[in-house]
Structure 1
Amino acid sequence: MSNKDLALILLINMLWASNFLAAKIGMEIFSPILFTAIRFSIVILVMVPFVTLPHGYWRKMILVGLIMGVFHFTLMFWGLSLSPDISSVAIVNQTFVPFSALLAMIFLKEKIGWRRWTAIVLAFSGVMVIGFDPIIFANLLSPTLVVIASFLVSLNMVIVRTMPGIGALNLTFWTAAIGVVPLYIISFLVEDGHFSAVQTAGWEQWTAVAFSAIGATVVGHGLTNYLIRRYPVSTISPYFLLVPVFAVILGIVFWGDVMTTELMIGGAMVMSGVTVITLRSGRKKSDEQADGA
């Protein structure tokens, strides 16, 4: 991999890690669902000139839009808004990796060896350890919502794998386009203070929403799509393990996160399990590609 592409991977990691901080800043004023709806509105406006219709996949695309665009982001940002820190959310969010391995075994008939089984148990055990952190334990709803949101990511990944030919940009756009109207409706039904939030939000909150939409989503996913066209997914995906690492650093430096013993031990367990699953899955795909060559 060239130095330029390695630099792009680092940039993507920073953009996605910074999204946790941006969302936290934005939700100081905007309620979680409203934040998500405005974010999607910006994504749609920026991306609409570059997308195509998902011919032949409308039913699955609508399902993806509901699972990811409505339920995942609602639960994820709700959980993040309730969390006193960024670090725990960024780490617990990684449970989508073991969830994906389990769902691939159930629905796609993939085999899981003892190493990945051990890693799955280790990752989920790490989440339980994080839950014993006194700060997190005071509001267990936050990690619970994030775990459910992460499960929905893995469910979405299984569906997307049955949709060959749909690029990352198209998936991103249609997820936003399908989810945005339900999000606004749900927001106006269950949240309040919308007009007050829009009027009182300062440049920090509007910048946070714009960054989450353009920086993390449009640019981040766009660069990822570029790299996927140049390298196998199994080559790129291990590098994205840096996202929670960068998010924890940003949380400590800019949000005042405190690295408790529970968070450090549990985080190490989660990331160790996720790393093993990612590397073993990548190796398995490489072996299959070699066998089919």
Structure 2
Amino acid sequence: MTIAPRLGARDFAVAAVMNLLWGMNIIAVKMAVIEIPPMTAAFLRQTIVLAVCLSWLRIVPGRMKELLALGVLTGGAFFLVINLSMAVAENVSALAIAGQLGVPFSMLLAVIVFRERIHKYRIAGVALSIAGVAILVFDPAVVHELPGIALTVLGSAIWAVSSLIQRNLKGVPVMTMYAWIGLVGAAMLAPVALAFEPHGMRTIPAIPLSSFGWVAFSAIGSTLIGHGSMTWLLQRHPVALVTPLTLPSPVLSVLFASWFFETPLTPLMILGGIVALTGVAIITIRSARVREQRA
């Protein structure tokens, strides 16, 4: 496929849909864990991903260690931690801000593992991202959300490790990756949910269609369509053009969560969000330019 140097109207439309799906996903995940026990909801999400991607499931010679590790981290550990964070939190807008630490964590791991060199702009971005999340700790309105924030930070660290693994999976079809993520994730989460939420697992057939719909939205809308859109854009345009298009999604997550759940956005939350997202924007844009120069 030819790489186009400019973004057209169709590209912006795809990016808008992608950001809307990612932004609304925070509502879907929170509603899912309200109506379904969190581990059971995580198991159902991965089962849906596997069902949709099953025809793409295949052995990829020389890549199976990475695919299985990705399944363990992304399919199992990440969604277990994130669903638990959503279950214990009330103001999920704070979690949306804390979740942005995945970007600086990923970059710091790249420095440690791949010996990547970073300069003052990306160092400043890391500092701002961490400072923005740290501001939340001093907000009296968010103090009771600290367990959820801590779990979200842990989820961000897991996501960062997963992103490094994905860097070694170039050439593997996205749907094949998600087929393995769904398979390994469902296989991991099933015994955990059976052990800690036996009633939730037994009552899966009785889950109302509306509750099941929240899980399906996350699995199909956010995961498959959202990430599929990102892949489609990266196949058509330089990474330096595409990566900044993802920046609206965390802003939308915060705004959608505050609106839907009628939770307040305090001055400290707004300040922390602006600081954290500024740092993420710096890292994202500068890293995209660096990757483009090396390509």
| TM-score under structure 1 length normalisation | 0.93
Question: What is the CA distance between 1:197 and its match in structure 2?
Answer: 5.0
Q: Could you tell me how far 1:133 is from its partner in structure 2? A: 2.4
- Contact 1:169-1:225 at 8 Å conserved across structures: no
Q: 54, 58, 67: which is aligned to 1:61?
A: 67
Match in the other structure for 2:113 = 107
Residues 172-191 of structure 1: per-residue CA shift (max 9 Å, x gap): 22111111111010111123
Q: Of 9, 12, 17, which aligns to 2:15?
A: 9
Partner residue of 2:140?
134
Q: Aligned partners of 1:244 and 1:170: how far apart in 2?
A: 27
**Code of the aligned partner of 1:179:** G
Q: Indicate whether 1:89 and 2:103 are aligned.
A: no
Q: Does 1:165 align with 2:171?
A: yes
SS at match of 1:81: helix
Do residues 146 (structure 1) and 152 (structure 2) align?
yes
Gaps (5+ residues) in structure 1? none
Instruction: Give the secondary structure class of the aligned counterpart of 1:44.
Output: helix
**Separation in structure 2 between the aligned mates of residue 63 and residue 188 of structure 1, nearest angstrom:** 23
1:1-293 paired onto structure 2 within 5 Å: 1-195=7-201, 198=204, 201-289=207-295
- 1:106-148 alpha-carbon deviations (Å, 9 max, x no partner): 1111101012111111111111111222232113111111011
- The code of the aligned residue for 2:260 comes to F
Q: CA deviation at 1:192?
A: 4.2
Q: Would the alpha carbon gap of residues 52 and 266 (structure 1) be closer, same or farther in structure 2, given more than 3 Å must change? A: same
Deviations 1:256-284 (A, max 9, x none): 12101121111111101000111111121
Whole-angstrom CA distance in 2 between matches of 1:269 and 1:186: 37
CA separation in 2, counterparts of 1:131 and 1:277? 23
* Cα distance between partner residues in 2 of 1:230 and 1:51: 25
Q: 1:196 to 1:66 in 2, by over 3 A?
A: closer
CA contact (8 A) 2:239 2:292 kept: no
Distance 1:195 1:273 in 2: 41
- AA aligned to 1:281 is S
- Does the 8 Å contact 1:167/1:225 carry over to 2? no
User: Percent same amino acid at aligned positions?
Assistant: 28
Structure 1, 133-142 or 93-102: larger mean CA deviation = 133-142
Q: Which amino acid aligns with 1:114?
A: K
Q: Deviations over 1:198-245 (max 9, x none)?
A: 366433311101111111112212222221211122321111111111
Deviation at 1:51, TM superposition (A): 4.5
- Structure 1 residues 196 and 179: alpha-carbon distance in aligned structure 2, compared to 1, 3 A threshold: closer
Q: Which amino acid aligns with 1:88?
A: A
Q: Distance in 2 between matches of 1:31 and 1:52?
A: 31
Letter in 2 for 1:57: R
Q: Between 184-193 and 194-203, report the one with greater CA deviation.
A: 194-203
Distance (whole Å) between structure 1 residues aligned to residue 214 and residue 201 of structure 2 = 18
Q: Cα deviation per residue 1:18-58 (whole Å; 9 max; x = unaligned)?
A: 11101111111211111011011111111212444322111
**What amino acid sits opposite 2:181 in the alignment?**
T
Provide the rounded CA distance (Å) in 2 between the counterparts of 1:286 and 1:58. Answer: 28
TM-score, with length taken from structure 2: 0.93
